[in-house]
Structure 1
Amino acid sequence: MTTAGAVHDGERRGGAPGSRTWFITGASRGLGYEFTRAALGRGDRVAATARDTARLDDLLGRHPGTLLPLALDVTDADAVGSSVRQAEAWSGGLDVVVNNAGYGHFGAVEELSDEELRDQLETNLFGPFRVTRAVLPGMRARGSGHIVQVSSIGGVGAFANLGAYHASKWALEGISESLAIETAPFGIRVTILEPGGYATDWSGSSARHSAGLEAYEGARVSAAARRGGQAPGDPAAAAQALMAVVDSPEPPLRVLFGAQAPAIVRGIYERRLAEWEEWQGLTERAHGSAHEGGRA
């Protein structure tokens, strides 16, 4: 077994462009499709998963030797393990894993059913968790690898009518940050992508919706107007940005994608910091007398 300390920087990053093997979930549309196309376009190999692999036929026709389409529903734990084993046998080892499969569930918190919330977590949280757990033994054995978790600016802040989606992405952010700390000694990097709005089908036919209550119609209208007022990003540009992240000798733990994302996230954190500061006196009093005596 290779130890992390004995691995050169280039090996930890999974080799140079044109020599890596990727495992990408949700590869049949949107960002996942463009990530797959960009990796193949520079000569890398890609094990691309989708519930409907027919959507990958055009790429397979152009890259028959370097694309392995795999039918996969990430909510099926056994199927996840089988797909990872097939990809590892095909390639000899996975260098970059992109957990992209997911969908957005629209509905106010009161409108959500237990089943709808569970389904959202099964795909957006447990799906990446299962894939990550399946690929880690091979990455640890090689002392290298890069796991990319596709989160969202919705994993940093929250908006009305998307409570289930935010719950899934906030949880993904937390488990991924712990993962990054745990796997760094093995030469495994973790990056959390936080895209803003992109020209994909995320809020279209791939989205799911709760049965609406009239009381929340105003919130739905406002949320739709907010999304409609943003110029969506180009998924192909996001794919090229991901290539730069993977090529970096020191990839970030978190990175925002999209020109509007920094301003949105900055506003979220400024409001949080201001509120915490406003209530700091109460925060300190909540500690009790030990703080006043200097023993905190």
Structure 2
Amino acid sequence: MSAAGKVIIVTGAARNMGFHTALALARRGAKVAIWGRSADALAEAAQAIGREVLPLAVDITDATAIGAGMAQVAEHFGGIDGIVNNAGVAYPNLVENLDIEQLNEQTRINFLAPIMTCRAIIPYLRARGGGRIVNVSSATVHREGAFSFLSIYGATKAGLERFTDELRHEVQKDDIAVTTFIPGDTGTGFGQGWDEAVVGAAYADWLERGPYWNGMMQVEAVAEQIAHCFDLPDKAAFEFVMMRPVGREPKILEGG
């Protein structure tokens, strides 16, 4: 009835929500494999977590790399019990100005990558007699006003949610639990590196949608609840969880 002793992969785990999710799982006694792009950043994250952690630089847009990563995790820990598909990327822009490379990157990382990791992990979970998959979506799919010009990010996350519903049906016979976890606005530094001109226009549009919003949640609090999905008894799951901030605050962002 807990994550203790379970082997769990977390993607996008070098920093932000993925890192804090891996940390929360490790505190529960899980053996965590953290995946990301940068080997150096992952090594730093593993040192900060300081428990049974396997850092692996894995290109989650490459099916061959995913397969090799899964095999390495299973060999290192003796099997795999679950995965948190957390990795994601967003680039705001007007539809008519969408950058094709940014569009493709969002599609590959937010939508295609978790499909491929789910495809690859099913045999490992079946071999353990069951397991858990948590696919991290976004409240952007369900609520207006998170931010403007996020059409592709929202669309890829909506596609992920539909895929997750079908996946849940397919793997129930194998006692594999599948959760769609939907965080609202969370303080992660997610928008770092965005084009300043685009952000300015998106911010202006966001302000026009109303003067108030619900505010930000702490990333540690959200990560704790993602990890909590692994606390449930076998053959029980949260199928659909939306966690959003509660409040009514003026729309003033840092530097806004």
Both structures adopt the same fold (TM-score exceeding 0.5): yes
**In structure 1, what is the equivalent of residue 252 of structure 2?**
none
Structure richer in helix, relative to its length: 1
Pairwise mapping of residues 121-270 of structure 1 onto structure 2 (< 5 A)?
121-157=107-143, 160-205=148-193, 208-209=194-195, 220-223=203-206, 229-249=213-233, 250-260=236-246
- Post-superposition CA distance 1:16-37 (Å, at most 9, x none): 3321111000001111000011
2:32–2:52 contact (8 Å) kept in structure 1: yes
Q: Distance in 2 between matches of 1:229 and 1:156?
A: 15
From 29, 33, 39, the equivalent of 2:25 is: 39
**In structure 2, what is the equivalent of residue 274 of structure 1?**
none
Percent identity of the aligned residues?
A: 30
Any idea what SS the aligned residue of 2:187 has? coil
Q: Distance in 2 between matches of 1:29 and 1:197?
A: 17
Given the two structures, how large is their TM-score scaled by the length of structure 2? 0.85
Distance change in 2, residues 1:244/1:136 (3 Å) = same
1:121–1:168 contact (8 Å) kept in structure 2: yes
Q: Distance in 2 between matches of 1:88 and 1:244?
A: 23
Distance change in 2, residues 1:227/1:75 (3 Å) = farther
**In structure 2, what is the equivalent of residue 3 of structure 1?**
none
**In structure 2, what is the equivalent of residue 53 of structure 1?**
39
Q: Shift of residue 65 of structure 1?
A: 5.9
Q: Shift of residue 228 of structure 1?
A: 8.8
Q: Shift of residue 230 of structure 1?
A: 4.1
- In the alignment, structure 1 residue 27 sits paired with structure 2 residue 1: no
Distance change in 2, residues 1:70/1:174 (3 Å) = same
Q: Shift of residue 143 of structure 1?
A: 2.4
- Where do 5+ consecutive residues of structure 1 fail to align? 1-9, 11-15, 264-296
- Where do 5+ consecutive residues of structure 2 fail to align? 249-256
2:179–2:240 contact (8 Å) kept in structure 1: yes
How many residue pairs get aligned? The number is 243
- Post-superposition CA distance 1:112-145 (Å, at most 9, x none): 1433322210110011111111101111233201
1:72–1:80 contact (8 Å) kept in structure 2: yes
- Post-superposition CA distance 1:47-93 (Å, at most 9, x none): 10111132233443366661000002212222111111111111122
Which range moved further: 118-127 or 52-61?
52-61
Q: Shift of residue 157 of structure 1?
A: 4.3
Q: Distance in 1 between matches of 2:49 and 2:144?
A: 40
Given the two structures, how large is their TM-score scaled by the length of structure 1? 0.74
Q: Shift of residue 162 of structure 1?
A: 0.6
Any idea what SS the aligned residue of 1:161 has? coil
Distance change in 2, residues 1:114/1:24 (3 Å) = same
1:32–1:101 contact (8 Å) kept in structure 2: yes
2:42–2:56 contact (8 Å) kept in structure 1: no
**In structure 2, what is the equivalent of residue 13 of structure 1?**
none
Any idea what SS the aligned residue of 2:59 has? coil
Q: Distance in 1 between matches of 2:50 and 2:83?
A: 20
Q: Distance in 2 between matches of 1:34 and 1:227?
A: 31
From 38, 52, 75, the equivalent of 1:66 is: 52
Distance change in 2, residues 1:64/1:236 (3 Å) = closer
